[in-house]
């Protein structure tokens, strides 16, 4: 007989979500074991012996892992369902039969690199702050940020009373009214890039994620995706951001 495992670990291994997200689903009452909703943290189950349901669909245990990089278009939500009926990112994955989930989020109006997988453990290590996975964004901001604003972003600014970790910031291009800037951060706070630019007085007009670590979009068109191999996955954890490789 299989050994007991923690419920959140079982859900993560079965590709439902990262472990942390699986914990949220448990507390929200979306997980049933043998017909009973379990909300207590720390519950264990015996795979193969007990039946686990997430949102009333049976969770069948470990699947073959798959890793996808999608160039998310604007106007798509990164949740798996949307009460307002807006399009969801997984609807762009025609031809993928595995049930995958996005690793982290991008705002409705943000485009660019979005990883999707059914490997909850890998998702957890990408999202865990201690691993400091670098993400590079290209922001178009209104106005022409002064050098003091750029330095403030680099050193850290107050976002919801907490200072952001140091960032790498480069001005790419000045247009008539806007400036195109790349910014590399390793934290993943909600709407962090927009809030950072807001904090220094230059609101973001449009935002695109270019890369995770040194894994970039390359020539992937908007709305298109590619399946990643082991080498691609290593690039996510490379502390040399794509931005650093190309610009320094």
- Note the residues at the interface with ligand URA (CB under 6 A): 106-107, 110, 191-194, 207
Q: Which is nearer to ligand URA, 43 or 108 (CB)?
A: 108
For residue 107, indicate whether it is catalytic.
yes
Kindly state the smallest distance separating residue 194's Cβ from ligand URA, in Å.
3
Closest to ligand URA by CB, 17 vs 196, is: 196
Q: Which is nearer to ligand URA, 12 or 141 (CB)?
A: 141
CB of 4 or CB of 188, closer to ligand URA: 188
Long-range pairs for 201-204: beta carbons < 8 A, 24 or more residues apart:
201/143, 201/149, 202/141, 202/142, 202/143, 202/145, 202/149, 203/141, 203/142, 204/139, 204/140, 204/141
Point out the catalytic residue in the list 107, 109, 119, 218: 107
What's the min distance (Å) between Cβ of 125 and ligand URA? 19
C-alpha span between 15 and 13 (Å, rounded): 5
Cβ atoms 179, 171 nearer than 8 A? yes
d(CA 22, CA 9): 8
Nearer to ligand URA, 65 or 74 (CB): 74
Cβ 204 to ligand URA shortest distance, Å: 7
For residues 126 and 133, give the distance between their C-alpha atoms in angstroms, rounded to a whole number: 6
CB of 138 to ligand URA, least distance (A): 11
- Residue 106 near residue 209, CB atoms below 8 Å: yes
DSSP string, 62-115: -----EEEEEEPTT-BSSS--TT---BGGGG-TT--S--EESS---TTEEEEEE
Q: Min. distance of Cβ 123 from ligand URA in angstroms?
A: 16
Distance of CA 159 to the CA centre of its chain: 19
Q: 101: closest CA among 151, 138, 150, 55?
A: 55
Point out the residues that are catalytic: 107
């Amino acid at each position: 007989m299989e050994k007991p495992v923690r419920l959140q670990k079982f859900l993560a291994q079965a590709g439902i979500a990262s472990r942390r997200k699986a914990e949220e689903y448990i507390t929200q009452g979306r997980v049933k074991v043998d017909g009973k909703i379990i909300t207590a943290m720390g519950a264990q189950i015996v795979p193969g012996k007990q039946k686990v349901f997430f949102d009333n669909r049976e969770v069948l245990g470990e699947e073959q892992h798959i890793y996808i990089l999608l160039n998310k278009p604007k106007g798509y939500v990164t949740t798996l369902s949307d009460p307002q009926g807006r399009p969801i990112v997984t609807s762009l994955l025609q031809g993928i039969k595995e049930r995958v989930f996005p690793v982290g989020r991008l705002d409705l109006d943000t485009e660019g690199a979005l990883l999707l997988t059914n490997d909850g453990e890998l998702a957890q290590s990408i999202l865990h702050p201690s691993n400091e996975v670098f993400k590079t964004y290209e922001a178009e901001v209104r106005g022409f940020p002064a050098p003091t604003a750029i330095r403030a972003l680099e050193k850290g600014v107050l976002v919801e009373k907490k200072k952001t970790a140091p960032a790498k910031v480069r001005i790419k291009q000045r247009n008539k009214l806007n400036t195109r800037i790349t910014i590399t951060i390793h934290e993943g706070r909600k709407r962090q890039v927009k809030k950072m630019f807001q904090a220094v007085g230059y609101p973001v007009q449009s935002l695109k994620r270019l890369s995770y670590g040194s894994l970039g979009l390359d020539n992937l068109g908007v709305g298109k995706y590619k399946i990643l191999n082991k080498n691609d996955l290593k690039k996510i954890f490379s502390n040399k951001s794509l931005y650093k490789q190309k610009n320094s």
